[in-house]
Amino acid sequence: MTVLFEDIIQPGATWSHVLKRGTAIRMTDIEGGVNAGGIFYNWESPTERYNMPDTLKAQHIAHLTRGHVLYSDMGRILCSITEDTAGWHDPLGGCSNAATAEAKYGEARYQEHRNECIKNPYDGFVVELAKYGLSARDMAAPVNFFSKVVVDKDGNMQFVTNHSRAGTMIELRAEMNVLVILNTCQHPMDPKPRYGPKPVSIVVRKVPLPASDDLCRLSRPENTRGFILTERYFA
Amino acid sequence: MKYDSIIPAGEPWIYEILRGQYLRIVDVEGNQAADTLFYNANDYEDRYSAQDTIRSQANIYLTTGTRLMSSKGNVLLTIVADTCGRHDTLGGACSMESNMVRYAIEKRYMHACRQSFVKAALAWSRGLGGALEKRDITHNINFFMNVPVTPEGGLRFEDGLSGPGKYVEMRAEIDVLAVISNCPQLNNPCNAYNPTPIRVLIWDPTD
């Protein structure tokens, strides 16, 4: 399939793109141990956005992998996970903000550290949202790609270290025209005490629309209905 | 007692709670989900965050001692008493649209929590220049609801642990705006297939 463009999202950076229906983004962990936070909006009507609880309860999941889809709050599918070699991406952990990042890593300003300064994902997301006329009011619960947080029978959350290795990749197929905002800051539960975000490579390419026997469409009856509702939107 | 009110099933409720005041929500008849959102009353874009709340205590269940965190890292309220023992914040609120996905496309026309949330937000905003609207409706707390997660990454809606008269009580750490949808869901056990009233009480520490 035709590659449209490629990029490397630098460590601790924020990146955005309106991913068109009929295209897909492949993210690859270059060094191992990357975290890529992601939030997703219907570009034509951004009050429709990725909804964490709707995604979890429609599919009875607390993790994301191949065959799962990302639901909007309007019963439609923003993106499908068509490829995944990690086996688990975290929808629960959220992102750090200025206060939690400074408490964990201290302060490193641009004045002294230039582009190695410490950044936090909440502010990264909100500044990027503002470029599209959106604001902190529109901030959604991010997915943390390449990260794993397990929950035990008592509800305790545990970050799993060394989950993603160099070369681990995930592909998201856009089922709508989706504003995608990614941020490569560390996962907020990453126990490493030092600030050390990593880069992720991305490839955006054209892909066919999902066929009648598509894996994500048939993965469960809820998703079959989700695809019907998404296709009605474009009818 | 400053405030004492019954919220029937399927109704929205919105009210400001001042720093230091206590809020008690009572599951009057048992097994009733009270879908609840909180906002910093002085900055509505600083609002309850399910992810920040569960991460800050490294546990997905809300109970006594849980600090309800905002998206900007502030403590909105602290749960100070809980006779139910466990509350959910991953299951979100039902909507007409999510009911179509979860149950059947024909379920579109059943009443749902997000209808009540939007109605309450718009009513509150009248005269405030659209301070709250659909875009501000984020991921809520489901008091009295039981949504366990498995170590394998599964998630289930289970029969509630709650019962008649059980309650949860919170202290506001800053001035907050509270929004409740008393859940009308009839398609899963979150309300034991029979939505019932809840009671809301607010008082000052000196009362």
B55 min Cα distance to partner chain A (Å): 6
Contact B92 A57 (CB under 8 A): yes
3-state secondary structure of A221: helix
Give the integer Cα–Cα distance in Å for B78 and B53: 11
What is the spatial distance between Cα A108 and Cα B8, in angstroms, rounded to a whole number? 52
Provide the pLDDT for residue B195: 96
Which residue in A84, A90, A66 sits closest to A190, CA to CA?
A90
| C-alpha to C-alpha distance for A202 and A219, rounded to whole angstroms | 26
What is the per-residue pLDDT for B158? 83
Find the largest Cα–Cα distance for chain A: 56
Q: Is the pLDDT of residue B159 over 80?
A: no
Q: Do B91 and A222 touch (CB under 8 A)?
A: no
Residue of chain A minimizing CA distance to B52: A94
**Residue B195 token pair:** 């939505």
pLDDT for residue A24: 98
Among A151, A160, A233, most B C-beta atoms within 10 A, so best to mutate, is: A151
Query: Chain A: residue nearest B58 by CA?
Result: A157
Mean pLDDT of A68-85: 98
What is the average pLDDT across B149-159? 92
> Are A35 and A86 contacting, i.e. CB atoms less than 8 angstroms apart?
no
* Averaged pLDDT of chain B: 96
Q: pTM of the full predicted structure?
A: 0.98
Cross-chain Cβ contact A51/B51 below 8 Å: no
CA angle at B74 for the pair B68 and B80, rounded to the nearest 5°? 35
> Mutate which of A42, A50, A73 to test chain B, going by most B C-beta atoms within 10 A?
A73
Average pLDDT taken over every residue of chain A: 97
Q: Is the pLDDT of residue B190 over 90?
A: no
A130 touches chain B (CB under 8 A): no
| Position B161 confidence tier, pLDDT thresholds 50, 70, 90 | confident
Q: Which two tokens stand for residue A142?
A: 């991010």
**B-contacting residues in A 1-40 (Cβ below 8 Å):** none
- In chain B, count H helices and then E strands: 3, 11
Q: Give me the total of CB pairs closer than 8 Å, taking one residue from chain A and one from chain B.
A: 147
Domain count, chain A: 1
Provide φ and ψ at B35, rounded to 5°: -75, 120
Region B181-193 average pLDDT: 91
Retrieve residue B197's tokens.
């009233």
Residue-range definition of the domain harbouring residue A70:
3-233
Report chain A residues whose CB lies below 8 A from the CB of B94. none
pLDDT tens across B31-87, in order? 999 999 999 999 999 999 999 999 999 999 999 999 999 999 999 999 999 999 999
The pLDDT assigned to B160 comes to 76
Give the tens place of pLDDT for each residue, A123-161.
Answer: 999 999 999 999 999 999 999 999 999 999 999 999 999
Do A226 and B101 count as a contact with CB atoms less than 8 A apart? Answer: yes
pLDDT at A4: 98
Q: From chain B, pick out residues whose CB is under 8 angstroms from the CB of A155.
A: 59-61, 86, 148-149
CA dihedral of A17, A19, A23, A25, whole degrees rounded to 10: 50
Quick one: pLDDT band at residue A120, thresholds 50, 70, 90? Answer: very high
Number of CB atoms found within 10 A of residue A5's CB: 9
Residue numbers of B between 110 and 169 with CB closer than 8 Å to A: 114, 133-139, 147-151, 153-157
At B1, is the pLDDT very low, low, confident or very high (cuts 50, 70, 90)? confident
